[in-house]
Amino acid sequence: MATPEFDSDVLIVGSGASGAAAAWSLSRRGLRVTCLEQGRWVKPSDYAHSRPDFELARQTSFAKDPNVRGWAEDYPINNSGTPIYPLMVNAVGGSTVHWSGHFPRMRPSDFRVRTLDGVADDWPFTYWDLEPYYDLNDSMVGVSGLAGDPGNPPRSPRQTPPLAFDAGCEAYLRGLEKLGWHWWPCDNALISEPFGENRSPCNCCGPCDIGCPIGAMSSAHVTYWPKALAQGVQLITHARVEQITVDRAGRATGALYYDDQGVRRSHTAGVVVMAANGVGTPRLLLNSTSARFPNGLANNSGVVGAYLMFHPVAFVSGVFEEVVNGQRGPIGGLMNCQEFYETDLARGFVRGFELQLSRSVGPLSVANGGILGHPVPWGSEHHEALRSRYAHTMTTSVMLEDLPEPENRVTLDPGLTDAHGIPAPRVEYRAGENTQRMLEFSIARARELFEAAGAVEILVDPLVQESGWHLMGTCRMGDDPERSVINGWGQAHECSNLFVIDGSTFTTSAAVNPTSTIQAVALRCADWLGRNYREAAA
Amino acid sequence: MTARILTPEELALLTLVQDELVPAHGDLSAAGTLGAALTVDAYLAERPLLRRPVLTALRAVEAAAGETPFAELDSEGRVGILRQVENDDPEAFSELVKQTYNAYYTRPDVQASLGIDGPPQPLGFELPAFDESRLARVRAMGKLWRDA
């Protein structure tokens, strides 16, 4: 199987959710796998959870926005053309290093949007094709939750039981039961009981969004990477890729990257796999120009970077008279409400949304507005206002399906570069008309829920600026090379030994967090590549 | 501890401003009196991008006070000046407020006044387990997804 003329059989660019899963899968088959990661290992001592000023980490060392966080490993992003800022983490484990761990699956209808609803495109495979890889992925990472949700197809038993259910959940439940809406305890990539090695179950400390120092969060650096390394994968950190190299025939030959000393190096491989996220992957492909690909690698169609999708998010917070202690317990999805998930044209839009019923934050973040989007006033009213919100608030994320539009895209900024002189990405995005109609409707439903639950004050952030966690669609899958970059196995239409396996691959976005699907797609692609390596590398 | 970025005059002014932004409450002194200005100075030393808005806001406070120094105004007068600056340059002023909140709410004594015993780790919190019986109504809803 090995191709000794290359440094590696497979070179993976990026060590996050998809790169980690693929590295594990491919190395299982005996392939020589190398992964280039521009970031570093985040150490337990890096986390702020044991310090009184832990909430400051949201604004500094663990800020979601790389432009704010400013780690040496980050690259700048020109986000002047988008109301939603792209968020990411550049480290081993990628953006799973600090996230909410919400781990839903897409529904079968999400893969057949064109057929069912006449918009966008169908994926080149079905939910049922992906289901075994969802199951495999869950068994690798460890998921808390409960099978049996009537809102989704039956699924395998979850690895650990649902997370805690406390006063805030009871408040939500008052509203849900009154309205008769669907709800279910969320699947979360966060273990509630012992699972895996060197990991502790969640102890409900709260701020998952600034990382998990005890390994309860099923982040790629604690799930896949230890196993992948044990199987012999070479992971090179502080390796910033500049471009994917090609030969005269237009086949990928490897990558040029800067090492931790700033030395520009080459690494050759029989197959290159892009796993650098929905902004990083198109950025690198667009920067990989050659005589054969003057507009960027695999981009003679002009589709690389286009069709960017976020999940537009509104935060709706309910303030209750009773103490709900929303700052205690995992911050992310407690329960989801998929009452409005499938298309109902009477609502004035196609597709749908999910209400993610989540918790809240500590006093500093409450004071600054943080998740609420409304800072507490200063002056004589300050203390009363702070005390009415802190420990009395629950926040629901309204998460919408974003339809793919070619004008929403990632390009290379003509002037901005990273520390190595590599062009930075520029992101251009606007929420389409369907999205705007859905936002209005969905915010009204979240308000209705909080009113039914008895909230005494409702605060709304109608389009959260710092909500671009989900970077999708910029190297989309499809059967038509004019409208897609890769086929259903992640293989580039224009370059058969180049694969893309991250969120870029999404044909449509669905209305749920994508990481579970990103990893399942990565495993499916890696499985095919592992079985067909000789053909792909030839 | 001495300031690294703020001059003694700026530090004194910031202290007075912070006392109006977050006044005394119960047994707790106001933010400035508690020493939040020096903490903000440390933030400015660590994060140069914060300097411009914070210093701009402080200069605006001085300027708005006019011939009567801010320190010589009563609380009502100071608040009036701060409202004026907030109105004239909301971006710079909101950064000043944010950094004051940062300095104030990261103090263990302030956190204790809100019932917080310590940072989230290593103890975490004990919360009730999920009770599946709560799902009886939803289970009875039947299939809600479209096959495809």
Kindly report, residue by residue over A425-480, the tens digit of the pLDDT. 999 999 999 999 999 999 999 999 999 999 999 999 999 999 999 999 999 999 99
Secondary structure element (H or E) that encloses residue A79, with its range: strand A78-81
Question: Is ipTM strictly over 0.90?
Answer: yes
How far does A475 lie from chain B, in Å, by closest CA?
24
Mean pLDDT of A18-34: 98
Q: What is the pLDDT of residues A260-301, one digit of tens each?
A: 999 999 999 999 999 999 999 999 999 999 999 999 999 999
Half-sphere exposure of A270 (CA within 13 A, CB side): 20
CA distance A395 to A460: 9
Q: Is A367 left (phi over 0), alpha (psi -120 to 50) or beta?
A: alpha
B91 belongs to a structural domain: yes
Q: Across the beta sheet with A353-358, what order do the strands follow? A: A184-185, A335-337, A353-358, A393-400, A313-319, A457-461
Mean of the per-residue pLDDT values for chain A?
96
B134 belongs to a structural domain: no
Contact residues, chain A, for B39 at CB < 8 Å: none
Could you tell me what percent of chain A has a pLDDT over 90?
95
Residue B115, chain A, CB below 8 Å: the answer is yes
B126 belongs to a structural domain: no
Q: What is the pLDDT of residues B62-108, one digit of tens each?
A: 999 999 999 999 999 999 999 999 999 999 999 999 999 999 999 99
Question: Which of B100, B102, B141 comes nearest A150 by C-beta?
Answer: B141
- Does the structural domain A8-41+72-359+392-537 have CATH classification 1.10.3720.10? no
Contact between A108 and B94 using a beta-carbon 8 Å cutoff = no
Question: Which of A152, A214, A382 comes nearest B23 by C-beta?
Answer: A382
pLDDT confidence of A370, banded at 50, 70, 90?
A: confident
B130 belongs to a structural domain: no
Domain count, chain B: 1
Nearest to A113 by CA among A418, A422, A342: A342
How wide is the angle at C-alpha A207 spanned by C-alphas A201 and A213, nearest 5°? 50
Mean pLDDT of B8-21: 98
CA–chain centroid gap for A386, Å, is: 32
- Which domain range does residue B31 map to? 8-116
Contact between A342 and B145 using a beta-carbon 8 Å cutoff = yes
Residue that wins the pLDDT comparison between A501 and A2: A501
Residue with tokens 């499985």: A527
Contact between A109 and B148 using a beta-carbon 8 Å cutoff = yes
Write out A8-30 in H/E/C secondary structure.
Answer: EEEEEECCCHHHHHHHHHHHHCC
Residue A236: what are its φ and ψ, rounded to 5°? -105, 115
Contact between B141 and A383 using a beta-carbon 8 Å cutoff = no
Task: Tell whether the model's pLDDT for residue A333 goes beyond 80.
Answer: no
B143 belongs to a structural domain: no
Contact residues, chain B, for A383 at CB < 8 Å: 22-23, 25
Helix, strand, coil shares, percent, chain A, to 5: 30, 20, 50
Contact between B120 and A173 using a beta-carbon 8 Å cutoff = no
**Type of residue found at A349:** F
B144 belongs to a structural domain: no
B124 belongs to a structural domain: no
Sequence ranges of the domains in chain A: 8-41+72-359+392-537
Contact residues, chain A, for B22 at CB < 8 Å: 378, 382-383
